[in-house]
A and B are shown apart, each in its own frame.
Chain A
Amino acid sequence: MNFYGIRAIYIFEMSRTWRTLMESIASPILTTSLYFIVFGAAIGSRMGEIDGISYASFIIPGLLMLSLLGESISNASFGIYFPKFSGTIYEVLSAPVSPFEVVIGYVGAAATKSLIIGLLILATARLFVDYEIMHPLWMVSFLLLTAVTFSLFGFIIGLWADDFQKLQIIPMMVITPLTFLGGAFYSISMLPPFWQKVTLFNPVVYLISGLRWSFYGVSDVKVGISMVMILVFMLLCMLSVWWIFKTGYRLKD
């Protein structure tokens, strides 16, 4: 194992984070605050409780997931796309680091950053709503696994993208709809039976449901299933990354 190599990539990526800290933090926190003002306070006050939870509290896990997914994907995809774009990737390719070590460095840093932002969002939410966390260990596991999995996913997008447009198209066209339709703002049980079935094909449903369970002990799908789903998705991402490095796809000619 080339630990110094992993460390170098991790430190390099984190220094990018610290350098752009204000921008990286300001936007998700502002967005989340706006959600709370609009959905929590303005609309939420007219909404009844869902599963015995006030609407403002109900949306916290969903909003947290929303930011975590978005941040993980964008951090990791940009982290690897930029060296490809600027040409500095040559150094990583020519270094005695294995693909596995490269992934740990980049994905580790991206996940760290999105977790930091996730925690800041939780703190921000506290300003608007009093919530409690019933199963903190499960919560931490969900956040951690989601951050890592979607950083891996972002890493894949960053490798695949060959222009800035492609870098943004997946988060825009796929992740945002999936998150909105993943039960961030409603319970699946509020949908007509047919759409309830369709929704189960949306992986984000399992993430939000699982995270909500760790907060309030209520969920749309069993928490065990949520955990299995996220692990399956993580495995799929790992396999894709492994395949990409094995074939040199979009990295080496």
Chain B
Amino acid sequence: MESIISIRNLSKTYASGFRALKDINLDIQQGEIFALLGPNGAGKTTLISIICGIVTPGEGSVTVNGHDILTEFRASRSMIGLVPQELATATFESVEATMSFSRGLFGKPPNPAHIEKVLRDLSLWDRRKDRIINLSGGMKRRVLIAKALAHQPQVLFLDEPTAGVDVEQRRDMWAMVRGLRDTGVTVILTTHYIEEAEEMADRIGIINDGEISVIEEKSVLMNKLGKKQLQLTLQKSLTAVPAELADYSLELQQEGNVLIYTFDTQKEHTGISELLRQLGKLGIDFKDLHSSQSSLEDIFVSLVSDKA
């Protein structure tokens, strides 16, 4: 895999003196969907804004397909489409007009067929003559996406694309993003919805306090950090975890009716069979058992709170 965006030792200090990015190194692979996760104020928007040319970088360098974002800004920016976090749209223009504007701005000759396709994909075709001011918030967000796609970018940045978009539209949007990836477009998205990253991303980066703490394949990340839990619903409730089982990380829940065993999927021995044998010896019967894996959300929360 070739990297389409390379970020080297990038730092950014705002005029206020605030250091929003600290020595970021990141490579985005051609054709992947990369999700950038992080709490409010982590520096996600700052990072994206620098790559797209909206915020001036501090130290370090960024290249897009080998083109430096400062010295070869035309080549690098032509490849990029950006959907900003803020809902900023030219209110009095029609949807159609604002898309033609976007396409022209990026140096492309008019192409009504492409515009129509994008508008249809985003269920905006029927509203193309409407002034943007008359659209709902979720529709405005889709107009921003349409604008970003108007010039057929190779790289698409989505800064919280689904904030304020209803569930059904969100699914459509995900499908559309996957469709884009299938045509070779690289997608970088930030989101607060972990399910979104879980659903969409090939790789995940976690940024906190201006530093990238984790960059990992999603599946690896979930495996590496994912804890599994085994839930045993007991025949007879217990008042306390028996002393013989003190070596296991066990917890009693629901008034002693449910015994929960947390184990690490990475370990060679999960200890499940030993535990079950022990339980048998102690005469503790159970009527049901099932295991569950922690979600990205749990992982994220634990990572971010570890740092704090």
Contact = CB atoms under 8 A, between A and B. Distances in A.
B125 interface: no
Looking at A19, A90, A96, which has the most chain B CB atoms within 10 Å of its CB?
A96
Given A16-B92, A90-B88, A8 B105 contact: yes
B243 interface: no
Contacts of B102: 8, 91
Which of B100, B104, B109 has the most chain A CB within a 10 Å cutoff? B104
Interface string B104-123: 11111100000000000000
Nearest to B107: A2
Nearest to B20: A253
A73 interface: no
Given A4-B109, A91-B105, A96 B77 contact: yes
B185 interface: no
A98 B75 CA distance: 12
Nearest to B108: A4
A97 interface: yes
Interface residues of A, number: 28
Interface in A53-98: 83, 86-88, 90-98
A97 to B, nearest CB: 6
Contact of B56 (A4, A9, A11, A252): A252
A85 B243 CA distance: 67
B105 A5 contact: yes
Nearest to B92: A19
11 contacts: A3-B107, A8-B103, A12-B93, A86-B90, A87-B88, A90-B54, A91-B147, A94-B54, A96-B74, A248-B56, A253-B14
User: Nearest 5 CB-CB pairs, A to B?
Assistant: A8-B104, A87-B88, A96-B74, A96-B77, A94-B52
Given A8-B100, A253-B56, 11 more contacts: A16-B92, A88-B90, A90-B88, A91-B102, A93-B53, A94-B53, A95-B106, A96-B73, A96-B77, A97-B107, A248-B56
Interface of B: 14-15, 52-56, 73-75, 77-78, 80, 82, 84, 86, 88-93, 97, 100-109, 147
